[in-house]
Every structure is written in C-alpha cells, then in structure tokens.
Chain A
Amino acid sequence: MSSRSGLPAQAAVHAFSAFGIVAQTAATFAGLLLITFLIGRVLPIDPVLAAVGERASADVYEKVRVELGLNLPLHVQFWNYAVKVLHGDLGRSVLTANPVLTDIRRVFPATLELATLGTLIGVLLGVPIGVVAAARRGGFIDRVARVFALFGYSVPIFWLGLMGLLLFYARLGWVLGPGRIDVAYDEVVAPLTGALLVDSALRGEWEVFRNALGHIVLPAAVLGWLSLAYISRMTRSFLLAELGEEYVTTARVKGLSEWRVIVRHALRNALVPLVTVIALSYATLLEGSVLTETVFAWPGLGMYITNSLLSADMNAVLGGTLVVGCVFIGLNLLSDLVYRLVDPRVR
C-alpha cells in the first residue's frame, strides 16, 4: 500500500519540481530581456544616429526614429519587442540589414566551434595537470602548473593571441593565420551546422577540414589556456579538499595504491563541483571571447554583440543576449544532470 500511495506523491513532487524549473527559467528570460532592453535605452548612444549617420537631415532622422519604434513610450516598445520574441521574431539588425536570427545562425556556430575546442583543450589538459599538482603538492610539477596557470589568468588574452600569431603563424608557420578559412576554400562546403570542422567532416571535404583546423588551432589554444588555468587550479583545490577527508585515509589504510585512492575515490568526489566549473568556463568562452575574435578576425557572437552594442543596434544586442542567456541556462541544466550522474546523493 505504501508504495502505491507513494508513487503519485512522488510524481506530484517531480511535476512540481519540473514546473518550478520552467517557471524559474521563464522568469530568468523575462528578467534578462527587461534588463538588456533597459540597458540599451540608457546607453549614451542615439540608435537613430547610429543607423542614419551624421549627415542625415531632420526628416530622415525622424522617419527612421518612427520606423524603429523609438517614438513610442518605453513600456510599449518593450511590450512590442517581447511579443515579437515570443513569436520567434528577433527583429532585424540595423547594422547588417539581416534578420537577427539569420545573423545569429551565422555567427554562433563560429563561436561554438571555437569555445568547444578551447574547453576541450582546457579540460583534457587542465584536469590531469590539476590532479598531478594536487598529488605532488608543493613539488616541481605543482609549481610549474601554478606559474602556467598564473600566466593564463594574468596575461591579457589580446596580447597572448598576437604573440601566438607572431610565433606560430608568422615565424614558425605551424598554424594558419587569422580568419576561419582560406579564401580558396571559402564557400566550398555548403553549411549544415555552420561549424566548419563539423560540416567539412560530414561532407567528406578533408582538404577544407585540414584548412579549417589549421585556422582554429591557435585561437582555440589561446582560449584553452585561459580555460586550462581555471580548471587546473580548481581541480587541484577540490582534490586537495577531498584528500583531507576521512574516507581517503580509510582507503589508504586499506592499502590501496595512492593513484587508485586519488583517481577512483577522491577525484570522483571532486568531479561534482568541477562539473559546474567546467560548465561556467565553457559558457564564459561562448560569450566572452570577443578579444580573441578580434585578434583572430573570427566572425563570432562576441564580436557581433559588441559591435551591435556600440552601435545601439538593440535588436541584435537583445537577440545575442538571449542566445547567451539560453547557453548559460542550458549549461546550468546540463551540469545539474551531470551532477546526478556523478553524485548518487543527488539522484
């Protein structure tokens, strides 16, 4: 009896929890939209001037002001925009003359591709470095890792990118230059996902794949260093905290090898908070790589939002912000799911 009556109660709890998540997500979106909208309106940039330029006559200025809906009260402007967004219309960008959705479809895959590779580099190198640094605390590797991470944190990414280009592209010729692809390969592969590496691989265009890889390696490595610095330090810190726990002492007393204790026991527990760190690092690379995009002439989302913001192209800014918001919310949900996988207590 108890199990029968428990099931609907459990289902109700799940439903309530799901409703809570949806409501929370919707509220986050609404807040995000409102705040971004208001920021756009208090910027000391006239969006009409940004659109028509300094030579426009008074009647042209007024006409465009009306076209952009800026003659309406602020709350009406926001309402109109929110209704459009709910209908899947992010409006048209003044700067590019395209629907914002079309622009985002074009620029977001470029950023996604770069940030994913950067995060992969950060995780695949950062976690092992963090583990070794924690295991050999105070040792040579720990000290080297600390200096390496310190550089990753403190050297401006703009400078790092330029120096990387100078050394690996201009001097050594190990990688290809700025941009996503050589002119000769441009438009060779019809876009499927928009991510050149993926599209060229799916189409079997390996020449294009190699070229795209040659272009992405350096900016991804630069972003990867930033990510690596963060992830390796956090891995070390989480792991050291776990290594001080009693269950680790118990495992050692049982006679397990040190690496088995670290990898099978301590690291597994350290992974729980590390998942959030990796997710946040990934999200940061997705929206915050504007300087890397500038140095490497990478037409991504960061540059798109920054250019739009500096021109008060608010449809584009809001559209881009929504995408970034979605990414953050999506990655948060994803890290929650991964939590459940790695930590039985959360299930």
Chain B
Amino acid sequence: MRRFFIALLVCAAGARAETPKDTVVMAKPIDDMISLDPAESFEFSGSELVDNLYDRLIGYDVKDVEKLFGELAESWSVAADGKTYTFKIRPNVRFHSGNPVTAEDAAFSFRRAVVLNKTPAFILTQFGFTEGNVAQRIRAPDPRTLVIETEKAVAPSFFYYALTAVVGSVVDSKLVKEHAKGDDFGNAWLKTNEAGSGPFKLRSWRANESYTLDSNAEWYRGAPKIKRLVARHVVEPATQRLLLEKGDVDYARSLTKDQLDAISRNKDLAIDQGNKGSILYVGLNQRNPILAKPEVREALKWLVDYDAIEKNILAGRFVKHQTFLPRGFLGAIDEMPYKLDVKKAKALLAKAGYPDGFSLTVDVESASPFTDVAQALQASWALGGVKASLIASDGKQLLTKYRARNHEAVIYRWGPDYQDPHTNAEAFAMNYDNRDDAKSKTVAWRNSWDIPDFTRRAGEAALEQDTKKRAAIYEQLQREHLKVAPFVILFQEIEVAARRKNVDGFIIGPNFGTNFYYAIAKK
C-alpha cells in the first residue's frame, strides 16, 4: 500500500507543467458572474470579462479619466439643443464573427438594453429612453452615423461617461438576432456566449470554475500581446498565493494584506495597484431616533481611528477617504477633517443627550477585511461609550436586510456604476421618495435619510452644461454632506494584483468594467 501511495506521488510529480509561454493564468473568484450579456451583466467579475470581449463607442484614459477617446466611434458631437448626440462609427472594424461593425449595431445594442430592462438598464433609461420611444430616439440614419436624443439637456460628460459603462457595449446585431428566441433579443444565448468586437474572444466559460479567452488578432487597435488568457476560480487567498509562488498562475487577484506583505519580499513577484472608485462606509439608519440626531452622527465620525485602521488592517487595499466622490472623479475633493477625537465626540454625544453613550447593532459582511474594520470601529466607538454589537452575515443576506432598511448601522461598500460624479451623488445625496415602497432605493433611501434639498441640487448638477460650474456644485455638496450625512465614509478601495515578474501590463482601471487584459505581455 505504501508503495502504491509513493508511486502515485512520484507519478504525479513527474507531470509538472508551468503556465504556457503565450498564455496568462489568473487566480481570482469568479462566482459572482451570472451573465455575459452586456445588457444584463453587472457584477465585478462579469463586468471585467465583458469589458475585454466588447468595445464601446467611447472610452476614457484610466490614468486621466477626463480624457475621453473613441473606441468604435471615430468622432462625436452634441447639437446646440444639448440633447442630440451624433456619433460617427469607425470604418473597417469587424466583430469576432466577421460581421462589420455598423451604427445599426450600436443602435440595436442600446435599444435592446432599454427594452430588456435588466439591472444596468437604468444607466441608459435615466436619459429618458423608454420601450416606447427608444426606436425613435436612438437611430442609425446610415451605417456610419448614430444619432441619440436624450429627453433633457444633461451635462455632456454625464452622457458620455454613461456610455463608457458595460451596458454601452456594442453587440453584433446580426449574430444576436440569429440566436433570439421570442422577444428575448438573444438574451438567453448571450448569457453564456458573446457577440463582441473586443480584444479577446470567449473560448469557454465554466461557471464557478474558469473562463478562457483567445486573443482577437483582428482587433482594431492591434492584436493583444498574449494568445490566451485563463481565469481560474480560486476563492481562498492562501491557495492563490501558493499557486502564484509556484508559478502555476501568473496573477493572484485577491490576496490579503498579510499575503501582500509576504509577497513584497519575493524577488520573483511584483504587485500592481490601481485606485478603484469603491468606497467603504458606515450607513446610519435615520429611523433610529438616536442616530437621527445630527450631533450623534457627527460624534460617530470623530470616533474612528482612520489612520490606525488603514495602517493595521487595510494597508495596500484601501486608503483614507471621507467624501462621497472618490479620487479621480470630476468634482472630487480631498478633504478629510475627521480623525479620532474622543473628547470632541463625547461633547457632541452629551449635547445630544447621551453623555454615557448608547447601544446599537452594526451589520457587516462576514468576510475580510470588513469584519476586521467592524471590530476596530467597535473598539473606538466604545471609547465614547457607544456599545456596538456586531452582526456578521453573508453578503446576500446583508443586502436583503439593508435593502429592507432593517439595520441600525451597517458597514458596506459602494462602487460607482460609471465614471460620472452623478452615480455617487445620486446614491449618497439623493432620495426621491422616502416611503418604504419607493421605486428608487438609493443609499440615502436605504438609510431613511429624507433630503429634498440635497436631492434637488444633486439633480441640477447632472444638468449643468458648464463642466467647471458642475464640478463646483459637487464640491459644495460634498462639504455639506460631509458634516451632516448619516454616512461615516471611511476609505476608498485600491485594487491590487500580485504577479510573476515575467508578466506585466494588466490595466487596473477605476471601475470593475475598466480592467483590461489587452496590454498584458509575458517574457
């Protein structure tokens, strides 16, 4: 028996194989991916994959997001009415199927997203497109011209940035129509297949297991430098680290702080970083009469040791940030007035009528680093007499509770839907209807924060045509928000990818839909 076992081991060891030279392998969790249809995909992994399969009309420079550039659109303009946008489609670009990319494909893509009305559709429908009017308002008068009419004259940058989102991907209308069933616009087929023109073609997707991409040698910006990319579903960070160190994967995408520290000492490995737009915050439900007092809200902001949490728990993964617009967004300000000041917090609590503090529950996702941050908050809030009981639960369970407004305080993460400030301004500073059955469930709504004045002003900011004036409005909104909002905004996320040194070029953009593989090269 012992011989048999040794024979098994020896036999296995002889079969060692490194990752192939023209193939890059990534280890990352991909179990959140439920659809590859750009009109439906809205998860982190799905957005990243779709982004590498499709092109959009326009994109932005991830290092300087104010610089827009044409992807499938060669040029674009807005008419004097501020509502009519015209895009000229780049000639001689082909989909993976070989079909030419035309303006009709772009029109079809946007129309189907509006009519299908899946989760990301709001990014387009917020400009007034409905099932009834979309054929009129989004049209292709000729194969190279796309005309889009919005309902109101919004800030052009707002509209352009919205089109850079995953839902703005252009699908091969001919191919999709061939696979349409009934009135599904090919959605059932596109869930697990692709019809794009992007730098990579989908070779296979095995849910919760892996996806494999082949490079598109005909891509309009030139063929990617690698021939194949494989993403393997590896949840456990310790397993990712072992795979990376042994060279069985080229990238490990979700290592913890301790693992990153260890990896930084390995001469064969390197770490890439990129600012993400995601924000980690504490939401304070205003249904709770104690949390509804402005002094209590402010006191809780003074009872956080931001620096210690960043240094000891989140180094390399999050950086301190206290306003609702992340760095890199139009109108973002880098003001961080709050720090741990127990004396000031106690004075505020006493003013609110709670000199000895109070008790509250804090919901948190039972995953690293959220639980660690929660424990740190629990400890620092206790310095002011605030006794926090932590309730750790699964992410989906937490979301259910949060969306039902059944929490007192919650630690949560918010990622912007597109690169325009309106996405976060709407989430954190707009609440259209504070009733339980409201149609729009913004972050402000989830915390029962009824703010007609903020809502009006943030709405007006989205319509401001002058970019400088628009930025100024957001700056002012954030300063006021910082002081009174029921949000203890804590940190902005940094995405980290550990890699073998012979591989480089992975582009980490500010959005999960702007992580690109096309520049990856392997020596």
Interface residues on A, range: 35 or more
A118 adjacent to chain B (CB < 8 Å) = no
Complex Cα gap A103–B394 (Å): 23
A283 adjacent to chain B (CB < 8 Å) = no
Is B242 within 8 A of A183, CB to CB? no
Is A96 within 8 A of B15, CB to CB? no
A56-B119 CB under 8 A given contacts A44-B401, A177-B248, A299-B206: yes
User: DSSP majority for the B interface?
Assistant: mixed
Residues of chain A in range 41-75 having any CB-CB distance to chain B below 8 Å: 43-46, 49-60, 63
Is B234 within 8 A of A178, CB to CB? yes
A297 adjacent to chain B (CB < 8 Å) = yes
**Hey, which chain B residues are within 8 Å of A59, CB to CB?**
117, 439
Cβ distance B10 to chain A, nearest Cβ, rounded Å: 8
**Hey, which chain A residues are within 8 Å of B79, CB to CB?**
none
Is A295 within 8 A of B117, CB to CB? no
A96-B34 CB under 8 A given contacts A53-B119, A174-B12, A177-B243: yes
Complex Cα gap A170–B246 (Å): 7
Cβ distance B189 to chain A, nearest Cβ, rounded Å: 10
Q: Which residue of the partner chain, among A46, A55, A311, contacts B42 with CB atoms under 8 Å?
A: A55
Complex Cα gap A174–B232 (Å): 22
Question: Number of B residues contacting the other chain (C-beta, 8 Å)?
Answer: 65
Is B8 within 8 A of A217, CB to CB? yes
The residue among A128, A177, A217, A307 with the most chain B CB atoms within 10 A of its own CB is: A177
Contact with A along B26-53 (1 / 0, CB 8 A): 0100010011000000110000000000
**Hey, which chain A residues are within 8 Å of B238, CB to CB?**
162, 295
Cβ distance B14 to chain A, nearest Cβ, rounded Å: 7
Residues of chain B in range 244-292 having any CB-CB distance to chain A below 8 Å: 245-246, 248
Which stretch in A142-150, A184-192, A238-246, A333-341 binds the other chain?
A184-192
Which stretch in B17-25, B80-88, B155-163, B216-224 binds the other chain?
B17-25
What's the count of A-B pairs with C-beta under 8 Å?
176
A310-B396 CB under 8 A given contacts A53-B43, A173-B13: yes
B204 adjacent to chain A (CB < 8 Å) = yes
Contact with B along A166-196 (1 / 0, CB 8 A): 1011100111111100111111000000000
A57-B440 CB under 8 A given contacts A125-B1, A183-B25, A299-B233: yes
**Hey, which chain B residues are within 8 Å of A207, CB to CB?**
15
B399 adjacent to chain A (CB < 8 Å) = yes
Q: Which residue of the partner chain, among A53, A174, A304, contacts B13 with CB atoms under 8 Å?
A: A174
**Hey, which chain B residues are within 8 Å of A213, CB to CB?**
8, 11-12, 15
**Hey, which chain A residues are within 8 Å of B248, CB to CB?**
176-177, 179, 182
Cβ distance A34 to chain B, nearest Cβ, rounded Å: 23
Complex Cα gap A44–B236 (Å): 25
B235 adjacent to chain A (CB < 8 Å) = yes
Q: Which residue of the partner chain, among A46, A50, A162, A210, contacts B15 with CB atoms under 8 Å?
A: A210
Residues of chain B in range 63-103 having any CB-CB distance to chain A below 8 Å: none
Considering only CB atoms, which chain A residue lies closest to B12 in the complex? A214
Complex Cα gap A31–B209 (Å): 32
Is A299 within 8 A of B209, CB to CB? yes
B191 adjacent to chain A (CB < 8 Å) = yes
A135 adjacent to chain B (CB < 8 Å) = no
B403 adjacent to chain A (CB < 8 Å) = yes
**Hey, which chain A residues are within 8 Å of B8, CB to CB?**
213, 217
Complex Cα gap A213–B120 (Å): 44
Complex Cα gap A303–B234 (Å): 12
Is B23 within 8 A of A96, CB to CB? no
B121 adjacent to chain A (CB < 8 Å) = yes
Complex Cα gap A301–B39 (Å): 30
Complex Cα gap A183–B417 (Å): 33
**Hey, which chain A residues are within 8 Å of B358, CB to CB?**
none
Complex Cα gap A125–B238 (Å): 30
**Hey, which chain B residues are within 8 Å of A55, CB to CB?**
42, 119-120, 122, 417
Considering only CB atoms, which chain A residue lies closest to B412 in the complex? A54
**Hey, which chain A residues are within 8 Å of B122, CB to CB?**
55, 57, 60
Is B9 within 8 A of A183, CB to CB? no
The residue among B14, B15, B120 with the most chain A CB atoms within 10 A of its own CB is: B15
**Hey, which chain B residues are within 8 Å of A93, CB to CB?**
207
**Hey, which chain B residues are within 8 Å of A294, CB to CB?**
235-236
A165 adjacent to chain B (CB < 8 Å) = yes
**Hey, which chain A residues are within 8 Å of B13, CB to CB?**
173-176, 214
Considering only CB atoms, which chain B residue lies closest to A208 in the complex? B15
**Hey, which chain B residues are within 8 Å of A297, CB to CB?**
27, 232-236, 239
Instruction: Identify 12 new A-B residue pairs, CB closer than 8 A, beyond the known A59-B439, A295-B238, A299-B208.
Output: A45-B397, A52-B118, A53-B42, A94-B34, A95-B34, A97-B192, A162-B236, A174-B12, A174-B13, A178-B239, A213-B15, A297-B235
Contacts from B to A (Cβ < 8 Å): 1, 5, 8-17, 19-20, 23, 25, 27, 31, 34-35, 42-43, 117-122, 191-192, 204, 206-210, 212, 230, 232-236, 238-239, 242-243, 245-246, 248, 393-397, 399-403, 417, 438-441
9 cross-chain pairs, A with B, having the tightest CB-CB distances, nearest first: A214-B12, A96-B207, A210-B15, A58-B439, A97-B191, A299-B209, A46-B400, A297-B234, A56-B119
26 contacts between A and B (CB under 8 A): A45-B396, A46-B396, A52-B119, A57-B121, A57-B122, A57-B439, A60-B117, A60-B119, A95-B34, A95-B207, A95-B208, A97-B207, A124-B1, A162-B236, A170-B242, A176-B13, A177-B243, A178-B239, A183-B23, A185-B17, A186-B212, A210-B15, A211-B17, A294-B235, A299-B209, A310-B396
Contacts from A to B (Cβ < 8 Å): 43-46, 49-60, 63, 93-98, 103, 106-107, 121, 124-125, 128, 162, 165-166, 168-170, 173-179, 182-187, 207, 210-211, 213-215, 217, 221, 294-297, 299, 303-304, 307, 310-312
